[in-house]
Amino acid sequence: MQRLITWILILCFVSPLCFCESLMRSTNTNSVIDNGATGDGKTDDSQAFLSAWQKTCSAKGASTLVIPSKVVFLLKKKIIFKGPCQATNINIQLQGNITVATQSAWLGDKSTIISITNVNGLTIDGSGGSIDGSGSSWWSCKTCPRPSVLSFNACNNLSVANLTIRNSPQAHITINGCVGATFSRITIVSPGDSPNTDGIDISSSKNILIKESNIATGDDCIAIIGDSSFINVTRISCGPGHGISIGSLGRDQVHDMVEQVYVHNCSFTKTTNGARIKTFQGGQGSARNITYEGITLTQVFNPIIINQNYMDEGGGVQVSGVTFRGFKGTSADDKAITLACGSQGCFNIVLDQVSITSSLPGKPTSCSCMNAHGTATSTVPNCASLLK
């Protein structure tokens, strides 16, 4: 041992930047196995995850938390990965599989299963791993509190890639109060009849990019809600699900604002909605400067819809500057375009290069407009009821 220590000291003296920094980096890797996780799929590994996180967060320099491959980790309690951290950059490598306890065995609160809060410069790579929320044990009680699987709160400069989440009790991923985040190659899978299982919910966040992902859920594939801006969504395959939605906005008479949203090069397959904006009565705020472009539709109900009467209430949120461009494909019924605006009206609505036909041979499609102002060019079906 003394000889080993001597050699380390010599190497540090000769090449400190090469050897010693490499040695320090290696010691900043924390495996949940080394912190007490069993990975047998039967024993609760929640505390081991927390212990590994505490070491990862408090390390100096770059730090890595590893969830190893070829094993299954069971979580029975809520896990909070909380910052701010001393580590300058943190990487979480999800190589193995995480399964969540069933409803009857769950011991944590029912808000979120894994919560990541106030951690900046975080990178998550889910290559080879997955998270299963055991949602089927929760879904039978639609009115019961149910947790989301993964939440990000006040995390800036965030990168999440190659992540697979299945069967969340409620929303799969929530993003709240984050600035500068990229989600790529995300796979989300839940049955089409699973209740309120949104794929990705974005709130109070800006500069968010979601790309190259496949989402199949029982609710919105992506929902962009209050006080969010500069949201870019591209190359998303959605279905089953309720489409990519703005809102709902104005719930409980609150002030909500969503602006500068660009959804492009996405596909919807057998979804209950395609491009959707939904608002509640009495709320304040706006949805503006929103573009859906380059959208492919396959047997989609409500391919284009603005609904200011969501939940059978009149609209109060102002909707303006919304563009639907380059839509092609089929509608599952005759209602291809529905612009149902409240009494205050929606303004600067643009329909351009839209071609939506019925998936039923020989059946027509229709466009219905109420208090909607804008223009329609090269659009099928014809939107003669759109006001100037």
Token pair, residue 287, equals 């949805």
Determine whether 219 is an active site residue.
yes
Which residues does residue 74 pair with via DSSP β-bridges, in sequence order? 44, 99
Exposed/middle/buried for residue 239 (C-beta within 10 Å: 0-12, 13-18, 19+) = buried
CB 296, CB 328: distance < 8 Å: yes
Bond prior to 169 in cis (omega within 30° of 0): no
Q: How far apart are CA 286 and CA 284, in angstroms?
A: 7
Catalytic residue among 125, 219, 220, 256: 219
Token pair, residue 31, equals 């495996």
The answer for residues whose C-beta is within 8 angstroms of residue 292's C-beta and 6 or more apart is: 244, 263, 264, 266, 275, 304, 323, 324, 325, 327
Residue 290: CB atoms within 10 Å: 23
CB 89, CB 62: distance < 8 Å: yes
Catalytic residue among 125, 198, 242, 256: 242
The answer for residues whose C-beta is within 8 angstroms of residue 326's C-beta and 6 or more apart is: 293, 294, 295, 352, 353, 354
Q: How far apart are the first and last CA of the chain?
A: 84
Secondary structure (DSSP) of 359-380: SSTT---EEEEESEEEEEEEEE
- Give the residue numbers marked as catalytic: 219, 242
